[in-house]
Structure 1
Amino acid sequence: MDEMFLLNNVFIIVAFTLVLLMQGGFILLEAGSTRMKNAGHIAGKTIFSVGIASLVFWAVGYGFIYGEGNLFIGFSDFFYGDFTTEVDGLAGSVDFLFQLAFAAIALTIAFGGFAERAKLSAYIVFAVLFSAAVYPVVAHWIWGDGWLAGLGKQDFAGSTVVHLTGAMAALAATIVLKPRIGKFNKDGSANDVPGHNQVYTALGVLLLWVGWFGFNGGSTLGVDGAFFGYVALTTQLAAAAGALAAMGTVMILRGKADVPTMLNGALAGLVAITASTAFVATWAAVVIGIIGGILVYLAMVFFDKMGIDDPIFALSVHGVAGIWGTLSTGFFATPALAEMNGGLPGLFYGGGFAQLGVQFTGVAVSGLYAFVVAYIILKVMDKTMGGIRVSEEEELMGLDISEHGSYGYPENVEQMESKNNKQAGA
């Protein structure tokens, strides 16, 4: 067997493992960004979500994306089990696993819009339907020889396919579920609902940052030519620039180096470079990260003013930065890298508006499809399942105890309750 074939497959299995471990980053990020009474729930739902996404992707998701079909959907390779086929120079099973990890990430992003107020049953049903009817369609259009791929849409590792799709589903969820109790005042002004552990949040971001080298670097699909090293370089630069730009922005506008904003800036840089990492020069990666870091803070403020309660900042980090990252190739794609990876050069390299127009079209139709279908699914669920939001009493006590019967931090919560009872008795 060819040595390069074996090396490529080992490389992609390692990349798959890194992307799968990003779920650990999301557990810490989301648990740390929410309140203690919901921490166990956040962690647990992430694990079963990966389980559901894996089984649905095996049953129908992979087939809808990569199966033989038409420009809009695939219709073969359901219940995938082929161990003989080669796909993009990889064993079919290895390629399947790598693509599965991306589908699971998109679902986790979508669930950011559910945080602290959705029933467990809502997570389960939506996980199945999103993994079957939302993510695979957008992925087929762009990565599965669909109509956007035919136009030359550039999305190397998924700023649109993964991040924007998940974010638009999260937007639909925030609208259907409505804000958490106490998030907004009667006059519409927003209250801060701080997460319970910034250390967890920071560690989660670092784990995601490391996992992104599997996310972006693995999307080269091999080690030949070591181009994955260049992809890793642009990824690192954008993340670093995003973190510093977000910190600088919040310091200028608020006078404090807000930690969550700084962390979201790093993630915004990573999300933004995900589409363009293989198409742009290193200086452009820095610019893309800087703009992503600035935009993420402005978006966080904007969504609060619009009355949209987004506890994990999925809309700002994955939505707004995902849009910017997708459009950025239309500005910064170099002729050499565009020719090497598909598509046309960007506007700043004499390519005119052709590639930028394709990128904009891809953002608009993919985002609209993900939002509309997710919204319809959630509204139907809400009507047929007796509501998808927990009761006010359950929300106040926390989803750990109301949905699972135990706290993520039982000793801490018991001590707090004991203290409150003593104070009430006094």
Structure 2
Amino acid sequence: MIALLVFGFILFRPGLAKGQEMVSGESQFVFNTFAFLIWGGLVMWMAAGFTMLEAGAVRSKNSSMICLKNIGIYSIAGLAYYAIGYNLMYVDVGSVIGSIQLFYSSSAAEIALLDGAADVVADVIGNGYAVMSDWFFQMVFVATAASIVSGAIAERVKMWTFFVFVLILTGVIYPIVGAWTWGGGWLAEMGFSDFAGSTIVHGTGGWAALAGVLVIGPRLGKFRKDGSVKPTPPSNVLMVTLGVFILWLGWFGFNGGSQLALGSAVDAVAMSNVLVNTNLAAAGGVVMALLVSRPLLGRIDLFAGLNGAIAGLVAITAGPDLVDHYWSILIGAVGGLIVVAGIKFLEDRKVDDVVGAIPAHLMSGAWGTLVVGVTGGAPLGVQLVGILAVGAFVFVVSSVVWRLLDRWMGLRVEPDIERLGQDAGELGIESYPEFLLVPEEFGEED
């Protein structure tokens, strides 16, 4: 952060003559590249937030598996996006998909520059940023989409089956959605707008999670025979709270970095508005979720308030570049209402989403994308088409993939392992080894 401030002072220091106030092309290139890398690193830190949130939300007997799944998600997503995902999403995109060639690398001009060729500097600078800095920033987004799925189907999915799904999601499904939109495909041509991914990232993850939850079914004993819900409180509310704060911080990189430039005064002002709106929306989501938790859930619920923050952040992600900041509070507040009502809605229908990922990401993301059509960011009808198209594609393809994986590898762990916990049953390790492992009543059917 200190380096960023010093660099900014050097570029924009007072006292320059009027004709010298514009930043040079090379300085813009350096600053844009630096911004991509810094914001990308901040978004990568969201992986830690998802890990803490999920590990604290599940029962302690499954916390180690959550940690393993999340570091696996980030690693597999990076490899898949490097191998094929980025090319499908951004290179030579037609209406539907981009290039199917393998691997992505620096441009020929950049490689020549690294080899000492001085005559290619103008070509390199003309791109506006280093090629691989953009790849890095886009890669951390795809990992976020996969993390959403992890929490929803926690405590009963087989590790390797889940990892194969992550490979397909991050290497094929998400990049195709991205090609339609950010890659310049058919939805982009219609005028669909999703600034940082309420639908493209969070909707994709949410629809994939919904498909997985419906195929795998609820955890053992989650729903009693009379239809009532057996409560499963978080095993560590401190970890869940820490996870939400980490995600909140990381979201400044998620939305702020989606300005995609920081080489001019316009970019700096726009990014400032984006960060303020992001923060206001999260705050609005928390307050609204707490206000409605008692009438909807019968209690003031900490977990609802924490999910309210996530829902507010997801909702504003489609349009954080608003100039009127009060809109962001309203958008986030409605997101907070949606997530609490959505959790209750799913439980009433015996849909077991462990962390509330589907209401927080899918439902709130759809709301945030749709409201861009109300605030004037895009035609309302086009926004609706985009939400439905992405939802239909991701849900159908994910459902097919989940079912094929179930037949090929098996999707769900054995009942004995589910009752014992995946930490001991699959990993042979305990997150809290000082505690005595005893049979749990929750694992038995009523």
Q: Distance in 2 between matches of 1:303 and 1:252?
A: 17
Map of 2:4 onto structure 1 = none
Q: Is 1:113 paired with 2:152? A: yes
Residue 187 of structure 1, CA deviation: 2.5
| 8 Å contact kept, 2:286–2:309 | yes
Residue 77 of structure 1, CA deviation: 5.8
Map of 2:143 onto structure 1 = 104
Q: Is 1:233 paired with 2:246? A: no
Q: Is 1:265 paired with 2:327? A: no
Q: Is 1:154 paired with 2:229? A: no
| 8 Å contact kept, 2:297–2:344 | no
The answer for unaligned runs of 5 or more in structure 2 is: 1-24, 111-123, 441-446
Map of 1:169 onto structure 2 = 208
Q: Is 1:203 paired with 2:238? A: no
Residue 88 of structure 1, CA deviation: 6.5
Q: TM-score, normalised by structure 2?
A: 0.86
From the CA coordinates, give the structure whose radius of gyration is larger. Answer: 2
Q: Distance in 2 between matches of 1:375 and 1:101?
A: 24
Q: Distance in 1 between matches of 2:323 and 2:222?
A: 40
| 8 Å contact kept, 2:93–2:99 | yes
Residue of structure 2 aligned with 1:136, choices 150, 175, 187:
175
Q: Distance in 2 between matches of 1:87 and 1:21?
A: 30
Residue of structure 2 aligned with 1:396, choices 398, 408, 419:
419
| 8 Å contact kept, 2:93–2:179 | no
Map of 2:428 onto structure 1 = 405
- 1:346-388 Cα distance to aligned partner (Å, 9 max, x none): xxxxxxxxx1101000000101111110110010111111x21
| 8 Å contact kept, 1:251–1:258 | yes
Alignment root-mean-square deviation, CA: 1.6
- 1:254-290 Cα distance to aligned partner (Å, 9 max, x none): 4532000000001100000000111452111111011
* 3-state DSSP of counterpart to 1:185: coil
Residue of structure 2 aligned with 1:30, choices 39, 54, 62:
54
Q: Distance in 1 between matches of 2:70 and 2:278?
A: 25
Matches within 5 A, 1:183-194: 183-194=222-233
Matches within 5 A, 1:172-321: 172-223=211-262, 224=264, 225=266, 226=268, 227-279=270-322, 281-321=324-364
Q: TM-score, normalised by structure 1?
A: 0.90
Of 245-254 and 358-367, the range deviating more from structure 2: 245-254
Q: Distance in 1 between matches of 2:397 and 2:132?
A: 30
Of 247-256 and 271-280, the range deviating more from structure 2: 247-256
Q: Paired residues, what number?
A: 397
Map of 2:84 onto structure 1 = 60
The answer for unaligned runs of 5 or more in structure 1 is: 339-343, 345-354, 421-426
Map of 2:390 onto structure 1 = 366
Of 110-119 and 359-368, the range deviating more from structure 2: 110-119
Q: Which amino acid aligns with 2:301?
A: D
Of 186-195 and 290-299, the range deviating more from structure 2: 186-195
- 1:149-185 Cα distance to aligned partner (Å, 9 max, x none): 0011110000001001000000011111110001101
Q: Which amino acid aligns with 2:244?
A: V
Of 298-307 and 217-226, the range deviating more from structure 2: 217-226
Identity of counterpart residues, as a percentage?
40
Cα gap change, 1:314 to 1:184, in 2 (>3 Å): same
Q: Distance in 2 between matches of 1:87 and 1:200?
A: 45
Q: Distance in 2 between matches of 1:280 and 1:325?
A: 16
Residue of structure 1 aligned with 2:162, choices 120, 123, 145:
123
Q: Distance in 1 between matches of 2:46 and 2:130?
A: 23
Q: Distance in 2 between matches of 1:157 and 1:369?
A: 20
Q: Which amino acid aligns with 1:3?
A: S
| 8 Å contact kept, 2:26–2:125 | no
